[in-house]
Amino acid sequence: ATATIQEAVDAAAYRDVVRVGPGVYVEQVILRGGVVLWGCGADKTVLKQPEHAPYGNVIAGAPDAEIRGIHILSPQYHEFQFWRGTGVYLGPWPGQLLSDCAITGPFLYGVDCSSSMVTDPPVVRRCTIEGSHNGVDVFGTWAGCVIEDCVIRNNNGYGVSAGYDFGTVRVVRSTVSGS
């Protein structure tokens, strides 16, 4: 056992599974290549962004990394504060999976797939993404994302936003509403 999720991730090797038990954890996590971060379900394992987070993402992905069964939560802000950071950043690394998670804003982006690779895009599967400015953002040259069996709702801007050159977003068996 470690004191933080980040310490467990830092100690993990490629394809190790870091199990996160039920509870509310207030921290930010930067994954390592090939590490699987696995909670007990989005209804039981909550990863909450710290009030004064040193950087904008609650979880930052890595090559071949997986995130499963976690509720990623933004703290509530006073009325004068605007959207804050990103729930999950799945940047320019191949082979990433975000599965069976809930992402609840207010974030600027619930899931940010910007600068990801069209040739091996991140997969967002069986997730509920709500309460952010944009639910899923895919922006950048050759960026891509696969969204499967998700519910993307009640985001203030776009449910799914995509732009720039040659990007591809594939949405399969998903519902996008209230955005």
Note the pLDDT tens digit of each residue in 6-43.
999 999 999 999 999 999 999 999 999 999 999 999 99
What are the residues facing 147 on neighbouring strands?
124, 171
As given in the structure block, the two tokens for residue 6 are: 């980040």
Residues 6+ apart with CB under 8 A from 93: 33, 61, 62, 63, 64, 65, 116, 117
Burial track 67-88 (b if 16+ CB lie within 10 A, e otherwise): bbbbbbbbeeeeeeeebbbbbb
68 vs 162, higher pLDDT? 68
Mean pLDDT, rounded, for 39-59: 88
Mean pLDDT, rounded, for 157-161: 92
- pLDDT at residue 164, rounded to an integer: 67
Note the pLDDT tens digit of each residue in 81-101.
555 689 999 988 889 999 999
Residues 6+ apart with CB under 8 A from 83: 105, 106, 107, 108, 132, 133, 156
Model confidence at 144, in pLDDT bands (50, 70, 90)?
Answer: confident
Burial class (CB in 10 A: 0-12, 13-18, 19+), 101: buried
Whether residue 50 is predicted with pLDDT greater than 70 in this model: the reply is yes
For tokens 């599967």, the residue is: 125
Model confidence at 78, in pLDDT bands (50, 70, 90)?
Answer: very low
DSSP character for 34? T
* Alpha helix positions (H), the chain: 5-11
Distance linking the first and last C-alpha atoms of the chain = 41
